[in-house]
Each structure stands twice: as C-alpha cells, then as structure tokens.
Amino acid sequence: MDPIATCDECLDKLPLFVGEDLEDESARRVAAHLKSCGTCRDAEERAVQARATLVDTFELEVKGGGPDLWAGVRAGLVREGVLDGSGAPAPSAPVLVGPWFRRAAGLVAAAAVVALATVPFLPSEDGGEAGLVIGLPEVEGEIDEAPKHPLEPWKDEVAGTEPQDGDEGEESGLIRIQPNDQDWLRLQFEADNPVYSATSSPTYR
Amino acid sequence: MVQAPQETDPAALAAEDHALIRRAQAGEEEAFSDLLRRHQGRAWRVARNLVGNSEDASDVAQEAFLRVFRSLERFDFQHDFSTWLYRIVTNLSIDHLRKRRPHLSTAAVGADDEEVELDLPDDEGERPGDALEREETGELVRECIDALAPHFRVVMALRELEGLPCTEIARIVGATHVTVRWRLHRGRKLFQEEWERRERTAASGGNPNEQGGGTPTLGSTAT
C-alpha cells in the first residue's frame, strides 16, 4: 500500500482524522499526504474548526452541570409505592427481591402452566398419542412481539408489564403445545422475567 | 452524600458502583441515592446535548434513574453501570426527540438563555459583543445539531463530549464498532456541511433556515 494517501482518500478520512479516530496506519498515510498538499490542508483546517465549534457548544451547554435529581427521583419512587415517605423502602419494594427469586418464580410459573395445559392431552388408556410438543424450531421467528433489536423492549401479552430497559431478550425459552392440527398454545420466556408471554389459536381451550 | 467520583481508575469506579448496587439491591436507599449522585452529572450532560434544552434533559435523566431503580435487581454485574445508564439515557432521549414535533429549534439555546448567560465566565476584558456573538454561534450550532438524525447525535455526544472510545459507544448503542465509526464519520461530515452552509448564508445576509421548506433531518435514512 502506498505510504501516502491520495487526495480523495485523504478528504474521505478527514472527519475521523481530526478526531484522532483513525487507525494508526491510516492516520500516518493521511498525515503524510497533508504535509505535501495545501488544498487538503485547507480542508483539514475547516474540519478542525467545525469540530472545535461543535465541541465548544456542547461544553457551553452543559457548563455548570445539571440539577440534583435525587429529590425528584425519590418523589417518583414514593409515588410508585416503592419507597415510603419516611426514607425506608416499603415492605414490598422490588429492590428487595433478587434476580434469583424472579428466575425461580418464572420457572415455577412456567412449570405450572405447562403441567396444567398438558394434563388433558396425556396418553389415554386406549393408547392415544400425547399432544405435547416442546420447542418446535419452525415457530422461531414467528413471534410477533419478539424484539427486532436488542434494545427494543419486549411486550408481555399476558400481564402487560411495562417494558424495562435492560431487557435484551438474549436468553429466552419457547414452548409450544399442540394437541392437534388446529389447537396450539405458545409460551415464551425470558431468563430474568417471571412473566411469560402466551399466544394461542382461537380454538385452544 | 456522595458526589461525582474523583478517582480516574475505571476499574475502581466500576467496583464502587457494583458495591453500591449490591447494597441498593439489599434495600439500602442511601446506596441508591449515592449511586445516582455519582452518575447524575453524566446522565444530564448526555441528555442535554441530545434533547437540546435543560428542562427536558432533567426530565429525561430523572426518568432514566427511575428506570434504573425498577430494573436494578436484574443488573448484570459483568457490565459497567455507566454503560447501562448511558444506554437508558440515550434511548429515552431518542424517544423524546421522536415524540417532539419536528421543528427548527431556533429557540433551543434560547430556551436556556438565562442559564447560558449566568454560566458565562467572568469575562475579564471581554467585549460586550463577544458574549452575544458566542450565544449566536451557539444557536447556529444547535440548529445544525438538531438537524442531524438522532443516531448521529448520540454517537457524536458520547464521543465529542464524554470522550468515550468507539468500542464503549458500540456497547451503549448496541451497534458494531464499525457502525459507530461510520456514524461518527458521517455525522461530523454532515455537521460540517450544514455548519458551513449556514455560515455562508448568514454572511450573505440571508436566513440560514430558508432552503426550500426548512431543514430536513440530515442522515435520517442512513443506518
């Protein structure tokens, strides 16, 4: 590779060069070009000035810092019933419930739902087949409510809990119960969320 | 009361954050208030640069900490608290920008006129016109920033103001390192073009906001 960048390459890389965001080799090639090209040096100067103006404005806007947010946040938590007005957490404060508890609660809830839904379809004495199918791969990707992006919150169809930031949906489980061609029940879980999402065919009971 | 951390060792700061989170998870309100006060400055700064005025920034930052509290029990100790907080603040700011009716925010800095004036340094020897000129420049720059699509603004605020490396920004915005560098590259370029266009127009005595129907959001169709 030529140790000196061309004008086109130099101009293309200037936005990252002026912020020292280029990788070392690219930065060296651009710097070498700038030493010998007055036109590109002019462009570099304009890019430096524009960036400096932006940074100055950013810094001016936040000069002095923001307000102390604790009073407002605390008032919000008291309104939600998470904290009481005396300063101590309310007895039912969710902060007292650890992640292990929610995971366990989720698993218990899931097991209960699966058990209840499965009982009617257990093999009969005359040798009929069970209708329980778990984890059918073909339903993956068909979940309408699944987030398209890791930051996009999940939507709970059953409990309607408010989506929380940090729900990345990376760990999830899927169970499908299908006793016959028409009836099906689909349950979806998140590792850290005891509330499951359930969808079913209109005829499923 | 714990103020913003003075230490510069990121690992030590993260460890202190984690200790506070564990105490908060155990029900200590004071630990959560300490955590908030360590990070409220950066939360407000980022929100301020993204939403364009101090009042909305305070609302966004406050809502961010409420969400932090609600989800604190699920905090993943493999990550830094600041990364999580930045993510919540930037997401809320973007939501705020999307809800806000699109407009040319000629009043974006003007909304904080009083504060900007109060915040100006004790300008020994500064001519009276300097402060006004700086304010006008700030308004013009804010218009250029507001003309950028939110995903460019987020990356530029985190890089230019907070000084975060692209790898950290990538974790915050949930994009690849390459995408973040591309947004930074494109955002700086779009900002410079808009800034120079407005300067030229202003120098010629025209209205910088007049370009056939107003300024579109720059880069709104890009990824």
ipTM above threshold 0.90: no
Interface size, chain A vs chain B, as Cβ–Cβ contacts under 8 Å: 168
Q: A9: alpha, beta or left, given left = phi > 0 and alpha = psi -120 to 50?
A: alpha
Q: Measured between CB atoms, which of B62, B74, B91 is closest to A73?
A: B62
CB-CB neighbors (< 8 A) of B173 in chain A: 151
The answer, for B163 touching chain A at a CB cutoff of 8 Å, is no
Of A188, A201, A180, A195, nearest in space to A120 by CA: A180
From A119's Cα to the closest Cα of chain B, the distance in A is: 34
pLDDT at A204 (0 to 100): 58
The answer, for B106 touching chain A at a CB cutoff of 8 Å, is no
Confidence of residue A7 (pLDDT cuts 50, 70, 90): very high
The answer, for B184 touching chain A at a CB cutoff of 8 Å, is yes
CB-neighbour burial class of residue A108 (10 A; exposed 0-12, middle 13-18, buried 19+) = exposed
For chain B, residues with pLDDT lower than 70 are: 1-7, 101-128, 207-223
Model confidence pLDDT, tens digit, residues B11-61: 899 999 999 999 999 999 999 999 999 999 999 999 999 998 999 999 999
Take residue A65 and report the two structure tokens written for it.
């810092």
Q: How many residues does chain B have?
A: 223
Report the percent of chain A where pLDDT is more than 70.
40
C-alpha–C-alpha distance, residues A76 and A165, integer Å: 17
Model confidence pLDDT, tens digit, residues A59-95: 888 888 889 999 999 999 999 888 876 655 544 344 4
Q: From residue A17, give the alpha-carbon distance in Å to each of A13, A68, B113, B193.
A: 6, 37, 34, 17
Q: Measured between CB atoms, which of B27, B40, B157 is closest to A58?
A: B157
Which of A73, A82, A96, A148 is the best substitution to test chain B (most B C-beta atoms within 10 A)? A73
The answer, for A96 touching chain B at a CB cutoff of 8 Å, is yes
Residue written as token pair 């939600």: A80
From B55's Cα to the closest Cα of chain A, the distance in A is: 9
pLDDT at B37 (0 to 100): 96
pLDDT at A185 (0 to 100): 66
Which is it for strands A172-177 and A132-133: parallel, antiparallel or unpaired? antiparallel
CB-CB neighbors (< 8 A) of B87 in chain A: 151, 165
Average pLDDT over residues A23-52: 95
pLDDT at B138 (0 to 100): 86
Q: CB A166 to CB B54 under 8 A?
A: no
C-alpha–C-alpha distance, residues B142 and B138, integer Å: 6
